Amino acid sequence: MKIDVLTIFPEFFGQVFDFGIIRRAKLAGIVEINIHDIREFAVDKHRMTDDRPFGGGDGMVMKPEPIFAAVEHLLGTSERADYPAGTKVALLSPQGHPLKQPLVKALADATEHLILICGRYEGVDERVNDVLVTDEISIGDYVLSGGEPAAVVLVDSLVRLLPDALGSETSAENDSFSNGLLDCPHYTRPAEFRGMKVPEVLLNGNHAEIEKWRHEKALEKTRKFRNDLLGENGEM
């Protein structure tokens, strides 16, 4: 997968993608991540990327010209109908669809080239949404100073679902939300620490019993912390 990030603060991403799973995926050629400065595509001598909103009001709005120019540079077109197969252009904003695991999985399964537009200020000129954007995504019901932190969250959640990124076919399948539940508790050595013992079922080698225990504990944790994920009777 190829990921291009459009931002007015490219330095924000300095080393953020150079650690852990993302770094290994980059080195293995599973993902390519490029950061682009929107200011380089500005059309005036001052490289302006924002202006006052029509109709008045507080703050500034990101101008359409540099963003259109950047997308056209990357894709050769600004017409969604002409985007190559497997191409998505996503705007990160508080007004977007909530970023949940099924959305991440859908992007991982069907996207070959993802362009992320990091919004700033009061937002982005709506013509960008009307013409360029295929997906508008929000990482939560709160407002950030810009889309850069959201881009990091999206890229991290996405890359770990790419084939071979985790080094195990089942690692991502067992994550929280992958089966509609939160993850079960996990333990490692030592088997006893400060009087606290690892549940005996995890030590007996009976895989059927272990899987049953893990499911029950995942259901228990989901009821406690995220009952909204369950049905009306609290069951899956």
Contact, 181 vs 222, CB < 8 A? Answer: yes
Q: Of 175, 183, 220, 223, which is the active-site residue? A: 175
Active-site residue flag, 175:
yes
Q: Of 66, 136, 160, 214, which is the active-site residue? A: 160
Active-site residue flag, 94:
yes
Collapse the DSSP code of 149 into the 3-class scheme (helix H, G, I; strand E, B; otherwise coil) and give the result.
helix
Collapse the DSSP code of 108 into the 3-class scheme (helix H, G, I; strand E, B; otherwise coil) and give the result.
helix
Active-site residue flag, 160:
yes
DSSP-assigned beta bridge partners for residue 118:
92
Q: Of 37, 40, 122, 183, which is the active-site residue? A: 122
- Candidates 49, 62, 39, 30; CA nearest to 155 is 30
Q: Of 80, 94, 156, 220, which is the active-site residue? A: 94
Bridge-based pairing state of the strands 50-51 and 32-37: unpaired
Contact, 4 vs 74, CB < 8 A? Answer: yes
Bridge-based pairing state of the strands 196-197 and 192-193: antiparallel
Residue positions annotated with a catalytic role: 94, 122, 160, 175
